Structure formats: structure tokens, C-alpha cells
Amino acid sequence: MKQAYLADAVFTGKDMLKRHAVLTENKMVTGIVEARGIPSDYALTEHPDCLIAPAFIDLQIYGGLGKLFSHSLDFASLEATYAYCLSGGCTHFMITMATNSTENFLKGIQVAGEYMSSGKKGLLGIHLEGPYINPVKRGAHIEKFIKSPTREEVDMFLKKGRGVFKMITLAPEQCSDEIVKYLMDQGILVSAGHSNASYSEATHAFDLGIPTATHFFNAMSPLQGRAPGMVGAIYAHSKIMSSVICDGVHVDFDSVRLSKKIMGERLFFITDAVTQIAEGYYEHVFQGDRYTLPDGTLSGSCMTMMSSLKNAVEKVGIPLGEALKMCSVYPASLLKDPMLGKIAIGGPADFLLINQQSLTLKEIVN
């Protein structure tokens, strides 16, 4: 069916086009035209007060709607996570497992691979957050599972996770340069995090080619006068990107504002979302605006990508177009997937209708 979606504006991922329509047919974008240029053979739906924008991408989420993937390693967990993602305008996600047993990691890789092979939508792959992290900055991670990498174990994850294992968070000071380079050479998106690296150690890792860092400020060596740490190294490096959790809990909104001013296009959003669960290795307790472990340790957010956008605009003061990029364009650039993070003729129909006044999701076209 030929469909035309007319809104007050279309944000393509690059340009903000006033009073334009996106044309689709068979789930592909066939045109982006002014209102007066809509072909007569397209069924028209008008969306006043709405903005059309690329669908969002979340590179770090653990579960949703009562299902934590690392505990319930099954399709139902992935389907629940995808449904949660969709509620916040996110159509592509990287399912994440925090530091865990090797057995659980391998089972998670297997299940994620079967899910992807079955043709189900949404899942980009698996993000292993650990186990090669620094115990000093473990946060909510389980210390007994933290280890240093061996070439043999990395090879096992790569072999078992071919096409599925896409991303890893590691502490660069806990890993040899050879291991880090090997992971990157195999196409794995390496992110520095849960790290107590010094400024020089972090800078060396970024110069080595690590392209991004995990949840800026959280579980990393801070910026101090005599020890600028990983935070300082991220600020100073011209290429390193970082995710940030824009909930005002994990990171103060003023810190997000300052970081955006310094980093510009290098900062992007993740949800780091978990869900309430009272069993397994990771128990998460809902505390109204966050999740904690039973002992009170901050363990995850209750954010969606849409609430990240709303906070960015209303609490941080980031312009809407730039906040949209932080939810889509910038994570897509890390994935190096030309089909994601934009609305383009010949590309997939994968976009959102967002009410511009309330910054709430009206509809997903996907």
C-alpha cells in the first residue's frame, strides 16, 4: 500500500524539513516531499502538531516488562524487552548481559542468535558488559565473575557468538592491547567502562582505537584536579564517544549539559534499563525513579529512549534536533549501519511520529 505521512516537520537525521510528508510503499521510503507534492495515488494521513523522526536505537538495555534477559534466557524475555523498547520509540536494541558466568553468557548468545535467525524484529545483537572489568568500579556487577581475558576465552565467545556477539564493555587497564585490538579487528564494538583507568591509560586505549565509553560518569575514574581519570580523557579526546543515562539519577542534568557542551556530537543516550526481579544473580528493586540492588546499590534505570529525549530537551536544554540525533544518528554511527538512524529514499520505513508539544510518542511506522 502506498502511504503518505504528513506532519508539521520531518527530521531526516540530517535536515529539519517543515510541512513535509514521508512516502512509503511495502515498508520502504519512496519519497520525502512538500505537502503540495504528495502524489494522488498515496493514501494520506495527516498528523498535526507532530514531528516525524528516525526511530531510536538503544545500545544498552537488560530487559523490560518484568523479564530480565540474563535471568530468563529465552525468547519471551527478548520479546518483552522489544515491547518495552517500542513503548519508548526504540525499534532496534542491543540486549545486554552484566558480568555473569561463562555458562550464562554462552546461553544468552545462543538464545539471541536463535531469536535473530528466526526473523524476529528489533534485536541488533548481544552486548556483554563484562566480565573483563575492574572490580574497583564494578558497581552492581558480581565480583566473583570478574576476570582478566584470555585469548582462548575471547576466541570461544567470538566463535559461539558469530553474527550475534556485537559489543563488549571492558576496562582497558584490565586487558592487554593485543586482546583489545583483536576484538576490534573481529568487528566487535568495544566500549570502555567499569574502569579505574588513569588519564594516560584511558587516553592510550582511545588512541588504540576504542571508539566509545559506557554510561559516562558511572563506574569510571572521575575527573579530579590531580587525577583527571577516564572522565577527563573522554572530555579531552577528539574522537571518543560515550553513552550517558539521561535520568537525573545516574547523572545530574547539569553534568549532562556540561558534557554536551564539551563533547558535542560525541555524546549519545542509552537507557541502561532493567526491570523488577527478586531472584537470580541480579535482583533489581524498583525505587520510583531508578532500580537498585537489595542493598541499595544503583543498578539500572527505568527510562525509555523517549523519556531520554524529553529529559534532554526539557531538563538539559538540548535543542530537539540534536536530542533526536543522540537517540538515533549517533548510536547508528557507532554501528556503521547505513540503514539505521535516518529517513532516506530507498531505506526502510522505520520512523516515529512525535507530538512536538508534549514530546510523547504518537505512532511508530516500522
Name the percent of the chain lying above pLDDT 70.
100
Q: What pLDDT is recorded for position 130? A: 98
Q: Which three cell numbers stand for residue 158?
A: 567470538
Confidence of residue 359 (pLDDT cuts 50, 70, 90): very high
Mean pLDDT of 159-170: 98
pLDDT value at position 52?
Answer: 98
Q: Which of 272, 289, 295, 350 is catalytic?
A: 272
Integer-rounded Cα Rg, in Å, for the chain is 20
| Each residue's pLDDT tens digit, 232-280 | 999 999 999 999 999 999 999 999 999 999 999 999 999 999 999 999 9
CA dist 219 and 353 (Å) reads 35
CA–CA dist 194, 205 (Å, integer)? 14
pLDDT class of 206 with cuts at 50, 70, 90: very high
272 is catalytic: yes
Mean pLDDT taken over the chain: 97
Question: In the predicted model, what is the mean pLDDT of residues 196-215?
Answer: 98
Average pLDDT over residues 123-139: 98
- Banded model confidence at residue 360, pLDDT cuts 50, 70, 90: very high
Give the number of other Cβ atoms within 10 Å of residue 159's Cβ: 9
The phi-psi region of residue 232 (left if phi > 0; otherwise alpha if psi is between -120 and 50; otherwise beta) is alpha
Q: What is the CATH number of domain 2-54+343-365?
A: 2.30.40.10
What are the E-state strand segments in 133-231?
Answer: 165-170, 189-192, 212-213
Mean per-residue pLDDT for 337-350? 96
> What stretch(es) of the chain map to CATH 2.30.40.10?
2-54+343-365
Range list for CATH 3.20.20.140 in the chain = 56-335
Which residues, 6+ apart, have CB-to-CB distance to 349 below 8 Å? 22, 24, 27, 28, 29, 365, 366
pLDDT confidence bin for 336, thresholds 50/70/90: very high
Cell of 13: 537525521
- The model's pLDDT over 59-105, given as tens digits with 9 standing for 90+, comes to 999 999 999 999 999 999 999 999 999 999 999 999 999 999 999 99
**pLDDT tens digit sequence for 274-321:** 999 999 999 999 999 999 999 999 999 999 999 999 999 999 999 999
> Residue 68: helix, strand or coil by DSSP?
strand
- CB distance 190 to 211 below 8 Å: yes
Class of domain 56-335: alpha beta
Q: What is the tens place of the pLDDT at every residue in 38-49?
A: 999 999 999 999
What pLDDT does 178 receive? 98
Residue in the block written with cell 520512523: 351
- The predicted model gives 322-330 an average pLDDT of 98
